[in-house]
């Protein structure tokens, strides 16, 4: 099946959507002809990729909401979970607006439904909630925070920069929620289950780590510094080179992810 467009319907839905967005970025001021023609395709494809991953984030956060409710988690956990679903809807919409402003049609992921493994679905809700918190909230959110932070700090484009900054402000809260949830939830499981949780964390790291390592291994020692990759042609459009991205991965892993994982006992 080919992917379908991410549509809007208007009317009362548009008002509720606008209330959720809570931010007005003048997307009409983003003129696709101002993007150098040799990178326009790459810029559109990268922002479409972000639509896909943010949409997946809505779905995973929504699944997490079902899991914490099914686990009978403490009442005050739910507000954070709802908040994260709303944030991911906002991120998806912001990325979709960028795609549209760049002259392309934002698309849904394909398949739209996330294929979940039977083994995952068979786990008790308390297990599923902790597995989701480890893979999504702790590992993936921490790494994507690192990437967006690096882009947001250097992007001065009025529209693209505003999208990156609005996104990073939300994401930072998700990370904090994740670590705290993991710390508390782990106490409910026997000590001898810890290797299982550590394995889930390692599995969540695999894809991004192997991608980054493949790039880092091709780089000379002089190239292994962020200053060697200013990416001045890409940064205004919210993109960086694979080399800079790999270096940011390494930095985020060493300075943020690894210490937090050790702190909660996942390393």
CB nearer Fe ion, residue 106 or residue 229: 106
Residue 44 is a binding residue for Fe ion (CB under 5 A): no
Distance CA 262, CA 167 (A): 27
The residue count for binding Fe ion (CB under 5 A) is: 6
CA distance 107 to 55: 10
Question: Which stretch in 56-64, 130-138, 146-154, 201-209 sits in contact with Fe ion by CB under 5 A?
Answer: 56-64
Based on its alpha-carbon atoms, the radius of gyration of the chain, rounded to whole angstroms, reads 19
- State which of positions 167-226 bind Fe ion (CB under 5 A): 171, 174
Shortest CB 174 distance to Fe ion, Å = 5
Q: Do the beta carbons of residue 237 and residue 160 sit within 8 Å?
A: yes
Compute the distance between CA of residue 267 and CA of residue 259 in angstroms, rounded to an integer.
Answer: 9
The candidate with the shortest Cα–Cα distance to 239, out of 71, 76, 43, 87, is: 43
Residue at shortest CB range from Fe ion: 91
CA distance 24 to 166: 11
Candidates 57, 185, 243, 245; binder of Fe ion (CB under 5 A) is 57
- Closer residue to Fe ion, CB minimum distance, 142 or 243: 142
Nearer residue to Fe ion within complex by CB, 35 or 171:
171
Minimum distance of Fe ion from residue 88's CB (angstroms):
5
The reply on whether position 91 binds Fe ion by CB under 5 A is: yes
Taking CB under 5 A as the binding criterion, the range among 54-62, 96-104, 158-166, 238-246 that sits at the site for Fe ion is 54-62
52 binds Fe ion (CB under 5 A): no
Under 8 Å between Cβ of 99 and 88: no
Straight-line distance from the first to the last Cα atom of the chain, in angstroms, rounded to the nearest whole number? 41
| Binding status of residue 50 toward Fe ion by CB under 5 A | no
Min separation Cβ 232 and Fe ion, Å: 26
Planar angle of CA 201, 153, 267, nearest 5 degrees: 15
Locate 179 and state its tokens. Answer: 């670590």
Residue 244 in contact with Fe ion, rule: CB under 5 A: no
The footprint of Fe ion (CB under 5 A) covers 54, 57, 88, 91, 171, 174
């Amino acid at each position: 099946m080919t992917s379908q467009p991410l549509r809007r319907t208007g009317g009362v839905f548009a008002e509720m959507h606008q209330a959720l967005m809570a931010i007005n970025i003048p997307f009409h001021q983003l003129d696709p002809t101002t993007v150098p023609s040799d990178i326009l395709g790459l810029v559109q494809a990268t922002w479409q990729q972000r639509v896909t991953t943010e949409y997946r984030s809505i779905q995973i956060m929504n699944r997490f909401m079902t899991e914490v409710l099914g686990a009978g988690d403490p009442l005050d956990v739910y507000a954070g979970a709802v908040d994260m679903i709303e944030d991911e809807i906002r991120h998806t919409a912001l990325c979709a607006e960028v795609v549209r402003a760049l002259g392309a049609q934002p698309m849904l992921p394909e398949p739209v439904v996330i294929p979940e493994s039977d083994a995952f679905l068979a786990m008790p809700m308390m297990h599923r909630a902790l597995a989701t918190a480890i893979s999504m909230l702790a590992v993936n959110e921490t790494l994507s925070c690192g990437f967006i932070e690096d882009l947001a700090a250097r992007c001065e484009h009025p529209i693209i920069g505003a999208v990156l900054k609005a996104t990073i402000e939300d994401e930072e809260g998700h990370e904090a929620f994740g670590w705290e949830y993991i710390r508390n939830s782990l106490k409910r499981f026997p000590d001898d289950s810890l290797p299982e949780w550590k394995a889930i964390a390692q599995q969540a790291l695999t894809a991004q780590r192997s991608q980054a390592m493949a790039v880092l291994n091709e780089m000379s020692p002089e190239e292994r510094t962020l200053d060697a990759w200013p990416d001045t042609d890409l940064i205004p459009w919210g993109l960086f080179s694979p080399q800079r991205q790999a270096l940011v991965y390494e930095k985020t892993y060493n300075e943020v992810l690894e210490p937090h994982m050790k702190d909660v006992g996942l390393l």
